[in-house]
Amino acid sequence: MSSSALSTAATYKRLVQASVARIWENVFDWQHLPSLHDTSFAACELVGMDAAGWRVALTSQPGGERRRQIVKLHANRAEHRYVVVTEEGAGAGS
């Protein structure tokens, strides 16, 4: 995804007590989403993965097909940046 296709809505900065390697491990760990965000997501299924990220199908709480979203991680390790985009479902295009 090119940076020209995105607009900056906000910038969030904080000190994280973890190595860069550990941060990237967490970013790419799509499987933790339902357990870490259990009030938001009922389920998470991998749709696809490549070097730049993953696509997952998330089902929002309280669950059901109508509450499904497809989200895509676009990671740029060289620039230490990543973006998660909602491709389908509630919030598509954000």
Residue 42 covered by a domain? yes
pLDDT band for 2, please (50, 70, 90 cuts).
Answer: low
Q: Which residue has the higher pLDDT, 22 or 3?
A: 22
- Look-up: residue for tokens 């993965």? 49
Inside any domain, residue 9: no
Q: How confident is the model at residue 87 (pLDDT cuts 50, 70, 90)?
A: very high
Nearest by Cα to 51 from 88, 26, 76, 82 = 76
Q: Is 94 part of a structural domain of the chain?
A: no
pTM: 0.79
pLDDT confidence band for 1 (50 / 70 / 90): low
pLDDT at 17: 94
What is the number of structural domains in the chain? Answer: 1
pLDDT higher than threshold 60 for residue 43: yes
CB of 66 closer than 8 Å to CB of 55: no
Full domain range(s) for residue 77: 18-88
